Amino acid sequence: MRILTISEKLKEEYGEKVYRLALSSGCTCPNRDGTVGYGGCTFCSGSGSGEFAAKPAPIDLQIEEAKKLIRKKTDAGKFIAYFQSYSNTYGDIDHLRKIYTEAINREDIVILALGTRPDCLEPEMVDLLKELNEVKPVWIELGLQTIHEKTAVSIHRGYPLSVFEDAYSRLKKAGLDVIVHVILGLPGETEQDMLETIGYLSRLDPVLNGIKLHMLQILKGTQLADEYLKDPFPIMDPDEYCELVVKCLKLLNPETAIHRMTGDGPKSLLIEPLWCADKKRVINTLYKRIEEA
């Protein structure tokens, strides 16, 4: 089986490997500040799932510091300005316009990528994203995780599927690339439930640009960790996870680029599954299974 990875796609488009720079916009989240809820989704860490992102600082400084880390390993010249933690379309629009314009206008930045929630995309914000997209490509990464409402309620996601559908439609009409995050192994979900989420995404019209698949990670300090330690639920082993990912990839539209097939949360916070910490081994196993499929 052949898959379209985002790394291969970008290398073809830009003539070299393009690296992500994990940056911070200083935004928070409506599921933390009381607008939608408090504490965030049950799996989300205190850093808003951005443990590897830069600390808030002037954008040029953040970019230069992040580039230093990359250049310890490679002399890369093209980068994605990736604002990962919390909800990066939720904040003062003038402030966000300023920092995102600064980032996208840099010669070394070829793509602006913003992680956010579907319920944080007011019309004015989508207009801004459309303007930025006319300068350079803008990717919007939406944390969907699952299509199943029962699960969404149990993880305190804070919005129904209809909100995702509306946001997706408006973003695509504005000409933006959309990448969706899915968590495999959420409490109470069967394999069929997870494959139904992937099947739904494979049928989206217009076609979904990209997907990130994550194994559920239970991190210290989260509500999910409290729930797990009190009443442990089943966790997939590496073989089960790799088999499931292959099934997911077979369902996806071949035009959808694979941005990620496993996660790599901080080892200092990881409670389960501990095998996730050996990302290289998991990736190698995944590619072997994909070749055999």
How confident is the prediction for the chain on average, in pLDDT? 94
Which residue from 193, 289, 205 is spatially nearest to 240, judged by alpha carbons?
A: 289
Residue 47: the pLDDT is: 54
pLDDT tens digits along 9-18: 999 999 999 9
Using 50, 70 and 90 to split pLDDT, how confident is the model at 51? very low
Which tokens in the block code for residue 265?
A: 């949360």
Residue 73: the pLDDT is: 86
- Domains of the chain with CATH codes: 6-292 (3.20.20.70)
The whole-number average pLDDT for the span 122-133 is 98
